[in-house]
Structure 1
Amino acid sequence: MIAAPATPGYARPTAAWKARITSERSRVQYTARPRPKRPSRLLLIRPHDPSRPCYFSCLPRELRLQVYEYILPQYLFLAPSRHDNRWMKERFKPALLHVCGLVRLEVAALLYGSTHITYYLSSFQFRPFGEWLTTIPKEHVTYLAKNRNLKMYLDEDIFEPVMKDMVELCERFGNRYLIPKGDSYKQFIKFCQLARWTQWCGDHSISKKLHWNYSFELGPRSDDWEEDMFLILKSLHSRFDSYLWTIANPTIQNAWKRDVRKRTMKRELQKMLESIDKAWMAHCRGLENLQGVYKHARSGYSRCAYDSLRDEWATKVANVREIISSW
């Protein structure tokens, strides 16, 4: 018995219909979709004169980085001027950044990521530092954030601002008519300068991304090594009293009535405290080692004076650390 076909004969296409459909489909032309013309994302070193050979472009990336290291500076000390800071901005614009895209990318990673940069923070004047940060392109700030060689150099003396700035500081953080005159007034001005710097660091997103420590480099001050180390310790103690000890001064804290943002200041104050305490401990170890080597050497200080200064330092640092931690 023959099985019936699945499709009836009247529903199946004829040979003439198949030939006509095939010829019509063959005449249809499909045009390719137009693609937008986009520049290539591949970065290459293209020579200025293509007819001449460029051997530098043929070097591998590792050798090109070694060439950059010979050209770029390893240490940069930025000291802003009170009148013109353009020269400080130009020091971070070497000609290599304007060669081509690939060289710019490689040089920026090396320049901003590994250079030892020291900024001279005079009297906590942050405006030149903030202006310098705005000159760095946003894509290069990521390299600067990875740099662990950033330092803020703090001078021993904090210079008093001009009368106009002094009045603005007092009005921002307290009532200048209620602050006792004399040394307390000067200490309050120094505290206002410190508070303004730490609040700026806590408010701005760029400064939060950067990681810097505070530097207190001190050169020799006498011919006696032991006496010189003792003078360095006294200088660090003087800086601590000028900067951080104002936090523990009850007279100054009672006068601090406005713009009280302790949590914003906490991170930067802790960083500053740990940096100066680390420098103090390093010089103390150096002085004690010298005392063991030169037992009979004459020195211009007494052991009692050193012990008294060391104990006073430990007490003050503990008090300030406890106050900052409570914020």
Structure 2
Amino acid sequence: MKKILLGAVLYVITAPFCLAQVKWQNVDSLYGSIPSSVHVFTTTDLIDGKPNIAYYVIADLKDRKLNFKTDTTYQRRFTPQQFYDKNQQPLLVVNGTFFDFATNRNLNAVIKDGKLVSYNVHTTALKGKDTLMYMHTFRSAIGINKKRKADVAWLYTDSSKKHAFASQEVYGPVKDSFPIVQHKIKSIKYTYRLHSELYKRRFQKWKMQTAIAGGPVLVQESTVKVTNNEERMFTGKAIDDKHPRTAMGYTADGKLIILVVQGRIPGIAEGASLTHLAKLLLDLGCVEALNLDGGGSSCMLVNGKETIKPSDKEGQRAVPGVFMITTD
């Protein structure tokens, strides 16, 4: 077990980080009627010396007039605008989960009204010299429970179970010869016996009312820690590539942060790396935060109006899952 854990390297920023703290401007007035517990901010300050456009929404989790929700599709995708129209025009719609373009399959967990309606893909078949071997990963999610407390955790999900199971400690990836991860006797474990005790200790029922998954985690315990290797998200130095981004986190005083960064528009908005994204979230006060699907999927609507400009030339990309804020 020690050998397995040593194989997963946590990406922690310890050296001086080349990103000055950006200045944000309140733009509530551009987005119509907004509750006093919600605010919209934007910045055009440079990121690492490159042009940048970013927006974030901050919402008070304790405001009972705000409802935090998700929606998802099955084997099809909708644009954020279509989700907006479908859900009686919520205050906020933002893209969330990753997906398979060929099948429209959602690749991440979604919890809607307390029910697990979409599941993480935990197993990938390996190739080449590792044929007949499998890689198991546990990707991250952000959830909000009935008491309006937010949490970022790493999930195990099973379509035969009502609840997701979560670990507050990052774990994996694990390579073995077993094609599935099994759930047995009230605890999570692989069929491979050496893993069973770890799952008993780490994974517990995650009773969230709303949750959406993606990855990797960007901020833990008010520190920039990118768990890209453990979640097996982006290969090589891809975490340093600049792209449009979507991310979410929460602060110690119960505020939810939803951040989007425009990108892939040379000379106007270059995008952000995962480490840039993590630093932005940390500077906004997040104690925990994670990355969601980015690139051409990144899009956030406030009262139906776009914040960043989507990078696809066709405009908003259809996606299988979104996070929303509605008002009573």
- Could you state the TM-score of these two structures normalised by the residue count of structure 2? 0.21
| Structure with the higher fraction of residues in helix conformation | 1
**What TM-score do you get using the length of structure 1 for normalisation?**
0.21
Q: Which has the larger radius of gyration?
A: 1
Structure with the higher fraction of residues in strand conformation: 2
